[in-house]
Amino acid sequence: MINKNTLTLLELIQKLEYYCSYQERCHFDVETKLKSLTTIEIEINTVIVHLIENNFLNEERFANLFSISKFHQKYWGEKRITAELKARKISAYLINNALKNIPEDEYLNTFNTVAIKHWNSIKETEKYKKRKKFCDYLIRKGFEQELIYNQLKSLENAK
């Protein structure tokens, strides 16, 4: 257990440089980490300024990497990515730019693949319960309702 009073400013900087180099972080993550290590606001601000100046911390880079990786690895839709970035206090401007990095054709192909796979995996035989499970899953993934309902109609008509 780290005693909050034992870390010097230099030690805090080194610890946070490692923290940021291990994985891309946003200001909110770094601030939360610093608050768990120290209670002095001036130290928090000094460390954050140092990390920004030395390119350990970059919100735009974080937003771009976060959006593309969550899309490719967890198959999240734009709404879920937007909500997660907002929770990390990323600006709307950076969120919009990050979402532009996801090609529209790739987005639609991934959505269709995820939707079809989930539709086929639902064992429910009652029509309305199956619809609800299908829609709820894709809404939780963060896809747009219009896409979901259009896909639902085409899958039901494909029977």
The pLDDT of residue 12 is above 80? yes
Token output for 83: 């909500």
87-115 pLDDT, tens digit per residue, is: 999 999 999 999 999 999 999 999 999 99
Give the per-residue pLDDT at 39.
Answer: 66
For range 26-54, the mean pLDDT: 89
Residue 1's pLDDT band, with cuts at 50, 70 and 90, is very low
Scanning 38-103, the segments in alpha helix (DSSP H) are 41-53, 59-74, 78-87, 92-99
For range 4-8, the mean pLDDT: 66
- At 29, which amino acid appears? D
Give the per-residue pLDDT at 9.
Answer: 85
pTM tops 0.85: yes
Scanning the chain, the segments in alpha helix (DSSP H) are 9-22, 27-37, 41-53, 59-74, 78-87, 92-99, 104-121, 127-141, 145-157
DSSP state of 65: H
Asked if 89 and 27 count as a contact pair (C-beta separation under 8 A), the reply is yes
Residue 77 CB coordination number (10 Å): 23
The pLDDT of residue 119 is above 60? yes
